[in-house]
Chains A and B, each alone.
Chain A
Amino acid sequence: MKNKRTELIVSAISNGTVIDHIEVGNTFRVFKILGLENTKHQVYFGTNLSSSKYGKKGIIKISDKFFEDEDISKVALVAPSATLIEIRDYEVVRKENIKLPQTIEKTVKCFNPKCVTNNQQVPTRFKVITDHHGSMKLWCHYCEKTMDKGSIEFL
């Protein structure tokens, strides 16, 4: 029931994409990752909404817009518990947890100031890895340094 109330707080859409269950505090980052600052589509945005699953959550709904899997997977960098929902004619046609991609390109800045990507016009490229504690980390293809989730800065 609580989820339904959330749907009402942030307007329902007839066609488009919903990113649900975003960790509180990361909703704006997801917004930026998806490049929604300059979009012409209608975007509905909510944060600190009640969630039976997580207590509090963020949600973003984008009308008449469907993303490539490669683009949507970047969301998992900052919101690993987020859910992707695709709606066509008010019907949910796709609902799944967003999975981390194997590589991240041209999205994240390398945290190493001496990395070639921070000093020449070189697009960044990272391999997504998991350390022995199960934490997600990014391994720079160029400088070979490993970056914690907390150091992630988007380009």
Chain B
Amino acid sequence: MAVFFLPIPIIKRYTMSNIKGKSLISITDYSKEDILHILDIAEGFEKDQRQKLLDQYVIASLFFEPSTRTRLSFESAVQYMGGSIIGFASADTSSVRKGESLKDTILTVSNYSDLIVMRNPLDGSARYASEVASVPIINAGDGANQHPTQCLLDLYSIRKTQGSLENINIALVGDLKYGRTVHSLVQALTLFNATFHLVSPESLKLPSSVKKWILDANLKYHQYTDFKSVINEMDIIYMTRIQGERFPDPLEYEKVKNSFILDNSMLEDSKPNLRILHPLPRVNEISEDVDDNPKAYYFQQARNGVYVRQALIAAILGLK
């Protein structure tokens, strides 16, 4: 964690970074320079997606629990680059069902592939896998802990829509307590002088351990329980899903559940550069009438996930 807050050198675009051969488990594994390096490479993939860099490479895709966007975008990334994929899409179709340990699965698959993309329901499983594997691991989500590639695609989307990651005003809305994507994004944006506007029900506020990162970076945050009052000043609104089961008292959920829904009329006086992001899947927190507003960016955001994952795989394998 301490590495994350070390003084950051001035960023020089397209500098060589230390990503090659290294696993990505948590967004804090990367410096500001590493993050920008990946985003720069991703821009190249957006311009020319079918760069056949993975000819004769085998990528393992080990999804011990279901995933739509993350698994398919990783597999799409590999295939656009001409690589081969092995793996499974649920633990039921692997030897895990026979009781095989994570260590044995990882050691075995290390023999068959150049890089492993892994999602597992246990917190910390990806870090452990990276310690036993002989090939790099990309964490595609370890339980409620980390999901660094989502964070990178969020950052890519912010930079692409705002022109820069520096000095943005961002509103994070919804479940700020349990949302792992929110925590990683806050961590990463502390490197870029962001101002954080935290909008959530009282019981789903951002944990103090995450607020500490903001304070340690000498940045500011503001907390709100009223969504409407913050919209017009924002550059980015990052919506998240509020899950009823997170509330100890169902009555409390009923009281707040409609307070954090974004509809099109609320965007009337918003800034021209505002963009709405969401890690998806959404339930009802963004009304469908927002989808046609040019400020809605969540589906493009999901598409950016492929470019970012292409960049990451290429950088880790030393091909970019």
A residues whose Cβ falls under 8 Å from a Cβ of B: 112, 114-117, 119-122, 127, 129, 131-132, 139-146
CB distance from B226 to the nearest CB of A (A): 28
B280 contacts the other chain (Cβ, under 8 Å)?
Answer: no
Task: Give the residues in chain A near B124, CB-CB below 8 Å.
Answer: 115-117, 122, 140-144
Contact indicator A120/B128 (Cβ below 8 Å): yes
Query: Any chain A CB within 8 A of the CB of B127?
Result: yes
A-B contact count (CB 8 A): 54
B122-166: which have CB < 8 Å to A?
122-125, 127-128, 142-146
**Bound Cα distance A129, B121 (Å):** 26
B-side residues, CB < 8 A to A, are 1, 26, 101-103, 121-125, 127-128, 142-146, 209, 212, 215
Contact of B122 with A115 in the complex, beta carbons under 8 Å = yes
A114 to B1, CA, bound (A): 21
Closest Cβ of chain B to A96, distance in Å, is 26
Docked Cα-Cα span, A115 to B121, in Å, equals 9
Query: Which of A115, A120, A127, A143 has a CB less than 8 Å from the CB of B101?
Result: A120
- The verdict on A127 contacting B1 (CB below 8 Å), with A121-B101, A142-B128, A144-B146 known, is yes
Q: Which residues of A contact B1 (CB under 8 A)?
A: 127, 129, 139
7 examples of A-B residue contacts, CB within 8 angstroms: A114-B143, A115-B124, A120-B101, A121-B101, A139-B1, A143-B145, A145-B123
CB atoms of B145 and A144 under 8 A apart: yes
Q: Which secondary structure dominates chain A's binding surface?
A: loop
Alpha-carbon separation in the docked complex, A120 to B102 (Å): 7
Which among B143, B146, B209 is the interface contact of A146 at CB below 8 angstroms?
Answer: B209
With a cutoff of 8 Å between Cβ atoms, the chain B residues found around residue A114 in the complex are 121-123, 143-144
Hey, which chain A residues are within 8 Å of B102, CB to CB? 116, 120
4 nearest A-B pairs in the assembled complex, by CB-CB distance: A142-B124, A143-B123, A143-B124, A116-B124
Q: Which residue of B lies closest to A146 (CB)?
A: B209
- A146 CA to B145 CA, complexed, in Å: 12
Using CB atoms, name the residue of chain A closest to B183: A144
Q: Min CB distance, A142 to chain B, in Å? A: 3
| Chain B contacts for A142, CB-based, 8 A | 123-125, 127-128
Report Cα–Cα, A145/B26, bound state, in Å. Answer: 13
The answer to whether B128 touches A122, judged by C-beta atoms less than 8 angstroms apart, is yes
Nearest Cβ in chain A — how far from B301, in angstroms? 25
Bound Cα distance A122, B125 (Å): 10
**Contact of A116 with B123 at beta-carbon distance under 8 Å, contacts A139-B1, A144-B145, A146-B209 already known:** yes
Q: Find chain A residues with CB under 8 A from B101 CB.
A: 120-121
Among B26, B101, B123, B145, find the residue whose CB has the most chain A CB atoms closer than 10 A.
Answer: B123
With a cutoff of 8 Å between Cβ atoms, the chain B residues found around residue A131 in the complex are 212
A sample of 18 more A-B contacts (CB under 8 A), given A119-B122, A144-B123, is A114-B123, A114-B143, A116-B102, A116-B125, A120-B101, A120-B103, A120-B122, A120-B128, A121-B103, A122-B124, A127-B1, A132-B212, A132-B215, A142-B124, A142-B125, A142-B127, A143-B145, A144-B146
